[in-house]
């Protein structure tokens, strides 16, 4: 009999690689496939646009305040933002929000902030929060020069942390450039990683490619 994991932790090789866009496309597609999934971004810094995008992709089944329980107004890493705002980062509220969503919904997609090792506090970073949740990790990388190095470092760090890296999604946040790196990145990455490259999301895509959706849905399935 099949059951579902609680979801995924979605991290990126850096900030600005398209984590929110990717997470939103996956969430919207899964919900349209009648899978009860909700996306959350526990920590936001700067504006709250990412949380609003995820709320819409979740078909508004949860309030923005639950999807994004910790909001810092300074556009910086959470630890830096909390120092500037002179207040401690409320990690416990983020934990509680995840637990509430996990109790109410079949699966939760948790989008991290920035990259894998972004500091949340002096002694606690995004990867530590992911370890607490224990979800399989999806890595979003941007198809540009440097992607091979950044993606390998991120995947290696996830595995070293003792977590399951479910795979990598290559995103195109900018129009395709006819450079040697962009043209060859995907094929080379497949030969370098110990985890699968699940697919690519092209610039301006308004929906997730069907084959990528199939792979994501299959990863959610597990045998009891």
Q: What DSSP element (H or E) covers 64?
A: helix 64-67
Sign of CA dihedral 4, 61, 102, 40: positive
105-117 burial by CB neighbour count: b if 16+ within 10 A, else e? bbbbbbbbbbbbe
Instruction: Give the span between the Cα atoms of 154 and 107, in whole angstroms.
Output: 24
Instruction: Give the span between the Cα atoms of 183 and 148, in whole angstroms.
Output: 12
41 annotated active-site? yes
- Beta strand 197-201 with 70-72 is unpaired
Q: Which of 41, 56, 104, 215 is catalytic?
A: 41
Instruction: Give the span between the Cα atoms of 151 and 149, in whole angstroms.
Output: 6
Instruction: Give the span between the Cα atoms of 111 and 43, in whole angstroms.
Output: 9
Q: What DSSP element (H or E) covers 52?
A: helix 49-57
Contact 118, 126 (CB under 8 A): yes
Q: Which residues are catalytic?
A: 41
């Amino acid at each position: 009999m099949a059951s579902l994991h609680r979801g995924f932790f979605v991290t990126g090789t850096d900030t600005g690689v398209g984590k929110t866009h990717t997470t939103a496309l996956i969430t919207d597609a899964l919900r349209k496939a009648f899978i009860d999934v909700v996306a959350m971004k526990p920590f936001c810094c700067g504006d709250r646009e990412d949380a609003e995008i995820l709320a819409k992709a979740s078909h508004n089944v949860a309030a923005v305040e639950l999807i994004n329980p910790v909001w810092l107004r300074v556009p910086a890493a959470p630890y830096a933002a909390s120092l500037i705002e002179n207040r401690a980062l409320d990690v416990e509220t983020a934990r509680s929000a995840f637990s509430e969503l996990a109790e109410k919904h079949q699966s939760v997609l948790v989008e991290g902030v920035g990259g894998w090792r972004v500091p949340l506090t002096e002694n606690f970073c995004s990867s530590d929060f992911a370890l607490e949740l224990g979800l399989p990790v999806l890595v979003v990388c941007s198809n540009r020069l440097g992607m091979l190095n950044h993606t390998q470092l991120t995947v290696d760090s996830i595995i070293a942390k003792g977590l399951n890296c479910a795979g990598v999604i290559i995103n195109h946040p900018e129009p395709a450039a006819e450079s040697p790196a962009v043209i060859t990145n995907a094929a080379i990455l497949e030969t370098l990683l110990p985890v699968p490259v699940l697919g690519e999301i092209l610039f301006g895509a308004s929906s997730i490619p069907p084959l990528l959706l199939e792979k994501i849905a299959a990863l959610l399935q597990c045998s009891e």
